[in-house]
Structure 1
Amino acid sequence: MSRGLGWFDSFREVAPEWAVVVLGLVTQLGDVWFLGVLVGTLYWRATEDQDEIAAVAGLLLAGLALITGLKHVFALPRPERVLVELGALPETVHPLYEATATATGYGFPSGHALLTTIVYLSLAEHLSVGTRRRRYLGAAGIVTAVCFSRVGLGVHYLVDVVAGITVGLVFLLLAWGLLNRYPTHRGTLGFGLAVGLGAFAAVASDADPDAVLLLGASLGAFAGWQLAVLARALDSGRGPIRESTRLAARAVGAAVVIAALLVTTGYYWPVAVFAGSGALGLAVAVLVLLPVLYRSERGIGRWTRSPSRSQ
């Protein structure tokens, strides 16, 4: 059963061969690597709004887990079509074409549509660049361009990207409702959603390697953020940990997750995917924690001493 609406053949007849390169480059705006670099860079550079960007990073991981699980639940194939045959292109652009304009795996819903909806609308909501209206118009333009590129390249049907946008919007409404209800815990909630949906993806995919690695990364991000919050609290004089129930809970939670990742990395070493999941989680935890420690002039020192302070 086809999910297409029959317009792709008409588009293919009028589209020039070089269009596949342009669409392939546009589609990178919704690739996981690009979104990860974008959000990661904003997180490392953030000062005042680091909690907001941490929440966006959590929602990115959560969205990636959600789409991974949904693709395995529906298990619908991609279209058996291409915009341009590889042989029709100059050999010099073959690597670029294969890297940007091809796709494998299940096709419904569109992961690019879902992730761009989540990330770019979240950035439009939380960043302070320009006006809110302009940010949303820019986000909507990017989402539209990426979705068109996916359909134009022939790697998705139109219904795939519509479904991806719809799921992304519903997810955002629910997630934002939760984050706005507990505004002082945005980062923790964002990464917590990623852990929960990461577990869903692992179960729904029957422990697919990508889902297992994603769960490890989500756990590491959650633990790293708890350590980052602890470092900031101690640096601002809100300590020692043993005198604060909330800080103690964060410390215990982070310690449990880090210990689990260490055990997974060591004990399951013969099983590459599980060991890799633990190692990836530890690496992500370090990446989440480092920017906070870098900006803290006294944070590292306070981990080794705990003077009593009143607040």
Structure 2
Amino acid sequence: MTRGLGWFDAFREVVPEWAVVVLGLVTQLGDVWFLGVLVGTLYWIETDDRDDIAAVAGLLLAGLSLITALKHVFALPRPERVLVEVEALPAAVHPLYEATATATGYGFPSGHALMSTIVYLSLAEYSDVSTRRRRFLGAAGLVTAVSLSRVGLGVHYLVDVVAGVAVGLVFLLLAWGLLNRYPTHRGTLGFGLAVGIAAAALVTSRTDPDAVLLVGASLGAFAGWQLALLARGLDAGQGPIRADRRLAVRAVAAGLVIVSLVGATAYYWPVSLLAGSGALGVTVAVLVPVPELYHTERVRRLRQRSLSGSQ
């Protein structure tokens, strides 16, 4: 049974060839690299509600594992069609076309639709920019634009993007229910969800390389966030670690995860994918607490002294 609804050929006849470049740029709004840069930038610059942005980062990782698992469960191909043949475009735009308007791998459900739903709606839920209504209208507009661009480019059927959005919405309803029930632990719960779904994706996909790397990244993010909270607690006057049960649990959890990641990297290096997953996890674990450390009181004082000395 086809997933197409029979309208693509008519659409292709009326759309000019240059539209493929526009659609290719729009579709980047739902690409992993763009969503990662967006959430990472917000995570760095946010100082008051970094816990909420951390939760969004955790949901992003969880969404990547979720789509990896679902694509392998259904294993349905992409459409055998394109909006424009690359030969019909000027040679100067061939690299841009191949980078933005083509896709490989399984097609159902749409990863761009699912990921843009998770990230943009989560940012609308947990940010405080403008009004809640405007945030959700803007997020819905971005999700719609990304989804239609995938269909317009011919890399997905309409059913694929509808399913991607639907799965993303169901996932968010369940995840938000958990995160909003424990608002002071949103970051930890978000990264915890990422670890759990990454483990499920690893099994479901039969150790697909992307799933293996996502396990390492999710574990590293979870450990790094515990280190960030540990630094925040010490900066706020809590501690020493051994005398504070919460800080001790965070320290032990982060330590065990990082030791496991380092062990995997060292044992399997340099040939195994597991070594790469471990190295990725260690890198993420180091990067996640950096913004929190950068804004601690002690570091702020050191920066002020350094600036005063240079003057």
Give TM class, smaller chain: over 0.9
Q: Secondary structure at the match of 2:206?
A: coil
- Asked whether the equivalents of residues 117 and 168 of structure 1 are also in contact (C-alpha less than 8 Å), the reply is yes
TM-score in terms of structure 2 length: 0.95
**1:18 aligned partner:** 18
**2:217 aligned partner:** 217
Compute the displacement of 1:247 (Å): 1.3
**2:51 aligned partner:** 51
Structure 1 CA distance, aligned partners of 2:91 and 2:38?
Answer: 31
Deviations 1:178-221 (A, max 9, x none): 00111111000000000001111111111111110111000000
Does 2:94 match 1:94? yes
**2:80 aligned partner:** 80
Structure 2 CA distance, aligned partners of 1:173 and 1:111?
Answer: 18
Q: Which runs of 5+ in 1 are unaligned?
A: 302-311
Q: Secondary structure at the match of 1:203?
A: helix
Does 2:140 match 1:140? yes
Identical amino acids, percent of aligned pairs: 79
Describe how 1:130-279 pairs up with structure 2 within 5 A: 130-279=130-279
**2:305 aligned partner:** none
When structure 1 is superposed on structure 2, of 219-228 and 280-289 the one drifting more is 280-289
Compute the displacement of 1:274 (Å): 0.8
Q: Secondary structure at the match of 1:298?
A: helix
Structure 2 CA distance, aligned partners of 1:215 and 1:14?
Answer: 44
- Asked whether the equivalents of residues 66 and 198 of structure 1 are also in contact (C-alpha less than 8 Å), the reply is yes
Residues matched between the structures, number: 301
Compute the displacement of 1:222 (Å): 0.2
Compute the displacement of 1:285 (Å): 1.0
Deviations 1:79-125 (A, max 9, x none): 00000001000000000000000000000000000000000000011
- Asked whether the equivalents of residues 110 and 156 of structure 1 are also in contact (C-alpha less than 8 Å), the reply is yes
- Say what the alpha-carbon RMSD is for the aligned residues: 1.2
When structure 1 is superposed on structure 2, of 248-257 and 291-300 the one drifting more is 291-300
**2:69 aligned partner:** 69
Runs of 4+ in 1 over 4 A off after TM superposition: none
- Asked whether the equivalents of residues 234 and 299 of structure 1 are also in contact (C-alpha less than 8 Å), the reply is no
Structure 2 CA distance, aligned partners of 1:55 and 1:32?
Answer: 17
- Asked whether the equivalents of residues 231 and 299 of structure 1 are also in contact (C-alpha less than 8 Å), the reply is no
Compute the displacement of 1:281 (Å): 0.5
AA aligned opposite 2:97: Y
**1:296 aligned partner:** 296
- Asked whether the equivalents of residues 115 and 168 of structure 1 are also in contact (C-alpha less than 8 Å), the reply is yes
Compute the displacement of 1:300 (Å): 11
Compute the displacement of 1:246 (Å): 1.4
Structure 2 CA distance, aligned partners of 1:181 and 1:147?
Answer: 31
Deviations 1:267-301 (A, max 9, x none): 01143311110010111111111011111132799
Structure 2 CA distance, aligned partners of 1:189 and 1:275?
Answer: 26
TM-score in terms of structure 1 length: 0.95
**1:280 aligned partner:** 280
Q: Secondary structure at the match of 1:266?
A: helix
Structure 1 CA distance, aligned partners of 2:148 and 2:255?
Answer: 44
- Asked whether the equivalents of residues 231 and 300 of structure 1 are also in contact (C-alpha less than 8 Å), the reply is no
When structure 1 is superposed on structure 2, of 106-115 and 242-251 the one drifting more is 242-251
Structure 2 CA distance, aligned partners of 1:231 and 1:147?
Answer: 40
Structure 1 CA distance, aligned partners of 2:74 and 2:176?
Answer: 26
Structure 2 CA distance, aligned partners of 1:41 and 1:27?
Answer: 20
Structure 1 CA distance, aligned partners of 2:92 and 2:239?
Answer: 60
- Asked whether the equivalents of residues 112 and 146 of structure 2 are also in contact (C-alpha less than 8 Å), the reply is yes
AA aligned opposite 2:189: L
- Asked whether the equivalents of residues 232 and 299 of structure 1 are also in contact (C-alpha less than 8 Å), the reply is no
- Asked whether the equivalents of residues 201 and 211 of structure 2 are also in contact (C-alpha less than 8 Å), the reply is yes
- Asked whether the equivalents of residues 118 and 168 of structure 1 are also in contact (C-alpha less than 8 Å), the reply is yes
When structure 1 is superposed on structure 2, of 39-48 and 267-276 the one drifting more is 267-276
Q: Secondary structure at the match of 1:276?
A: helix
